[in-house]
Structure 1
Amino acid sequence: MPVDYPATEDQVLLAHIVNRQTEALSALYDRYGRLLYSVAYHLVGNQQLAEEITLDVFRRVWEKAGSYKADRASVRTWLTSMTRNRAIDMLRREGVRPEHTSISWADLTFEPHADGHSPETAVSQKMQNQRIHAALAELPEEQQEVLLMAFFNGYSHSQIADHLTLPLGTVKTRIRLGMHKLKLVLQP
């Protein structure tokens, strides 16, 4: 009887991946690919690097699914941690530090933008986004995760609680603490 991968639990999917069942990896990618891309993008601020990081994480899952320890973290947390670590490694390798701003030449062109904002406004917004990404990278993983889900992926607090199997109060506390830390870091 064929396995219904979309309905299969994460840990069972990993067991199938250990047995080299590509459909299980595909199901895991369908389940978490968007989230991992979002985490990577928000850390590196570059679409191409974020895609590379996401694919690299799933390549590592294919190679090392047997190293997953269920008693240490959920599959989701394990994948998110690998993504975060891979993004930080890539930033180091590329010689980029998220706390420093890097503006591309295209950002400095003096053509009016389609949205009507001046080039100065666009550059200022890009610099602010980079500061936010760097500040997010400094937060504890559990606060990063809920903030990314709430503000970048549009999940409600209840949806986050359901998805992470956490009490609603815990989700709200993590969001509140994370926002407080971001506010402290981002204040001029």
Structure 2
Amino acid sequence: MSASPLKTDQELVRNALADRHAFAALVTKYEAPLRRYVKRLGINSAEDADDVLQEAFIKAYVNLNDYDPSLPFGAWMYRITHNESISLFRKQRVRPHTVETEEELVIFENIADATDIHAEIDKKLLKVAVHKALAGIGEQYRSVLVLRFLEEKSYDEIADILQIPSGTVATYISRGKRELKDSLLKEFISTDV
């Protein structure tokens, strides 16, 4: 039987509980995806993103004994990071602004295509409008849309991360898409006049 060089999250957690230096493996594994998630939620400042991630990893480390190994560790880390991001928004009392990467431009284009907006609209203008509309919708809807369409999480993973029922996730996605579509339609109707 050959040992796999890749350890599961549960193995990494067990190692971290036994040796505090082993927690670094979890940080290494989750830092990049969590940083991307924080930026997609609208934390544009590198310093703020660093602060959110630092607080999230500190909370995870301090509360590692409370982690339930029957649940996915990744969802637990996303939940902690999400809560830290929301705390930052509350402290700053500003509306988050989402960040576009090249990868997200393709995803925004796919979301825009799915909203049934007239096909002749310039794609670049549409991507900018989708980006702006996503930043302007309600936080709970933006969160589920980012997790579903940008982070590609399943409904169950989103439910674990946000600590809401799966049915609520489906409702928020539906309402968020409708709010996004309505916002886009208003934007294009008002600019066509």
Question: Partners in 2 of 1:130 and 1:36 — Cα distance?
Answer: 22
1:34 paired with 2:26, answer no
In structure 2, the residue corresponding to 1:35 is in which secondary structure? helix
TM-score (norm. length: structure 1): 0.58
Give percent identity, aligned residues only.
Answer: 18
Q: Which residue of 2 aligns with 1:87?
A: 85
Asked which structure has the greater RCO (Cα within 8 Å, sep 6+), the reply is 2
Q: How far off is 1:65 after superposition?
A: 0.8
1:85 partner amino acid: N
Q: Deviations over 1:106-145 (max 9, x none)?
A: xxxxxxxxxxxxxxx99x94x8535414648414977643
Q: Contact 1:29–1:58 at 8 Å: present in 2 too?
A: yes
TM-score (norm. length: structure 2): 0.57
The change in CA–CA distance for 1:138 and 1:130 in structure 2 (over 3 A counts) is farther
Q: Which residue of 1 aligns with 2:150?
A: 148
Question: Partners in 1 of 2:95 and 2:138 — Cα distance?
Answer: 13
Q: How far off is 1:47 after superposition?
A: 3.3
Q: Which residue of 1 aligns with 2:131?
A: 129
In structure 2, the residue corresponding to 1:69 is in which secondary structure? coil
1:181 paired with 2:183, answer no
Q: How far off is 1:87 after superposition?
A: 0.2
RMSD: 3.8
Q: Deviations over 1:74-121 (max 9, x none)?
A: 1011000111111001110112234xx7xxxxxxxxxxxxxxxxxxx9
Structure 1 spans left out of the alignment, 5+ residues: 102-120, 151-159, 165-174
